[in-house]
Amino acid sequence: MNSGNYVKAATALTFAATLSLMSSCKEEQPKPERPNIVFIMSDDHAYQAISAYSDKLIRTPNIDRLYREGMLFTNASVTNSICAPSRATILTGKHSHIHGKIDNIFPFDTTNVTFPQILHDQGYQTAMFGKLHFGNNPKGFDEFKILPGQGDYYNPQFITNKGDTTIQGYVTDIITDLTLDWLGNRRREEDPFMLFYLHKAPHREWLPAPRHYKEFTKRSFPEPETLFDDYNGRGTAAKEAEMNLLKHMTISADNKIYPEVAKELGIEEMSEWGFNVFKSKYDRFTEKQREEWDAVYGPINEKFRKLYPNMNDSAFMRWKYQRYMQDYLGCIASVDENVGRVLDYLDENGLSENTIVVYTSDQGFYLGEHGWFDKRFIYDESFKTPLLIRWPEKIDPGSVTDEMVQNLDFAQTFLEAAGIEPPEDMQGESLMPLLEGRDGEWVRDAVYYHYYEYPGFHMVKRHYGIVNKDYKLAHFYYDIDEWELYDRRKDPLELNNLYDDPNYQEVVKELKRELQELRRKYKDSKELDRHFIQKYKERGLIE
Ligand code: SGN
Ligand code: CA
């Protein structure tokens, strides 16, 4: 059955039929004592685009189920808001400066111990499908099929433990097909399993499946309050970052205007780069895929050809925002639909009760807030990440927590859930007290953040900082020396840097003390900051 039919068939199952299937299968299956783990992660999925957090932009009924039947985290964050470092932190339970994967450039040091290796040694069956983005293969997995690097949306190539393969179709559907195939055909019933189900979507350049671009290109979306942010009241880093929709979002690769049309209108792409990215993606399409694409994006191009000559900057910004949201959210629609397929499978096979299902992203993303796309900053849209966890055996349905949890915490959480003592040098906190409603036992009230990839894509300056429920203090360094303080309760949009405000000097003093304490606790230091700058020099990335 192809995946489109599968989706239809799965959604056609009535609620009653699902229930009866659930109960009949439950009796037949011996329940493993140790929980199974399904770790679902998408790439660049903003919490603003999950209806459990906000339904302004899109409805995601399947992902939301994990909240209705489990727990929603409203202050979940990453330690370093970029793809590969986040994944390395998840796998090792350590900050970037300890596992060494500080950015997307340097390879992951495979001598690091990862929690899947430990689970595997302790009898868990392990599998990974989708995007890893490491430059090397995962350790401790019985089976994996991963995209090389960023991977492709259409007709993607996969690296497997038995050689490479290319699969025709749409990446989100395919990753799910692979996952369901493993669950249905190669899962050992006698052992608990740990499954990584990792989406490429909704990563840039946001190519939705035909069924979703047909729908989403007809929609328009509410603009964020700060779409036209002028960055007054912020520091140099925000002013100099290259992630503004108007200035840095490319017309072809991102907004899907054909290079010929853009050139005819006199719109230049940065060094032809965006044109080339567009062409390389477009060339991957099969003839049928190209026809379907042209039937929808052709008319959008025609309309734009007429509109553009009369557009001023703000009209162009608005147009870009709508184009961006149509494609980005179209990608999410597939993710949500496919997550539903996997949740249905767990239900239908009596696996839901004792399986921990996590939905998260490798980091958050800007959906036009501050005029931006991309991530990297310690500001909320990219510092925070969506997190929903379902585990019916432990978690009360519909729970919400605003505790300061991080991607650093997964490794210890899963190990504790499996009854395994975590290695002493892991740096997170197990989420078990929160999952089991023992909130009083949760001890951490502030988290540490450190971003490194500069100079680089989007030019977000190096910075580290501390965040608690009330405040955020960050130090931007390397080619500047600037501090920023935000009052998270009074200024949730983070528009006013209060670092020099006389009324906040006590807060600054206290947070600086706590930040130094966290740096000591996590073994980060000025020496390490210099060490990583030195590595950029050795690599010829800076002088
Ligand atoms: C690509 C993207 C960037 C993005 C990085 C890192 N450009 O380079 O916009 O910040 O990946 O993303 S693209 O147009 O080539 O896609 S990450 O999620 O892998 O860290
Ligand atoms: Ca990412």
Residue-wise pLDDT for 219-242, tens only, equals 999 999 999 999 999 999 999 999
User: What is the spatial distance between Cα 370 and Cα 350, in angstroms, rounded to a whole number?
Assistant: 45
Q: Does residue 279 share a domain with residue 404?
A: no
Of 15-19, 194-198, 529-533, the range with the lowest mean pLDDT is 15-19
What pLDDT, on the 0 to 100 scale, is given for residue 28?
53
Task: Report if residue 211 sits inside a domain.
Answer: no
Q: Measured from the CB, is residue 347 less than 6 Å from ligand 1?
A: no
Mean pLDDT of 392-406: 98
Whether residues 201 and 337 fall in one domain: yes
Q: CB of 101 closer than 6 A to ligand 1?
A: no
Instruction: Answer with the one of 287, 304, 324 that is the final residue of a domain.
Output: 324
Q: Does 56 reside within a domain?
A: yes
Give, using CA atoms, the residue closest to atom 13 of ligand 1: 204
- The contacts found for 418-425 with CB under 8 angstroms, 24 or more apart, are 418/34, 418/35, 418/37, 418/119, 418/122, 418/124, 418/192, 419/34, 420/118, 420/119, 420/122, 422/93, 422/115, 423/93, 423/113, 423/118, 425/94, 425/98
Statement to judge: residues 119 and 197 lie in one domain? yes
Q: 81, 270, 385, 457: which to mutate for ligand 1, most atoms within 8 A of CB?
A: 457
Q: Ligand 1, residues 204, 269, 275: which to mutate, most atoms within 8 A of Cβ?
A: 204
Judge if the beta carbon of residue 460 lies within 6 A of ligand 1. Answer: no
Tell me the sheet residues that pair with 400: 72
Ligand 1 test: best mutation among 101, 146, 198, 203, most atoms within 8 Å of CB?
203
478 in Cβ contact with 533 (< 8 Å): yes
Q: What is the extent of the structural domain holding 521?
A: 36-205+325-538
pTM score of the predicted model: 0.93
Q: Are residues 155 and 283 in the same domain?
A: no
- Token digits for 328? 């980005």
Same domain, 196 and 57: yes
Task: Give yes or no for residue 458 CB within 6 A of ligand 1.
Answer: yes
376 lines ligand 1 (CB under 6 A): no
174 vs 457: CA distance, rounded Å = 29
pLDDT band of residue 16 (cuts 50, 70, 90) is very low
30 domain residue, yes or no: no
The domain boundary residue, chosen from 283, 299, 324: 324
Residues less than 5 Å from ion ligand 2, measured at CB: 43-44, 83, 362
**How many Å apart are CA 348 and CA 353, to the nearest integer?**
11
pLDDT band at 83 (very low <50, low <70, confident <90, very high): very high
3-state secondary structure at position 323: helix
The encoded tokens of residue 214 equal 């047909």
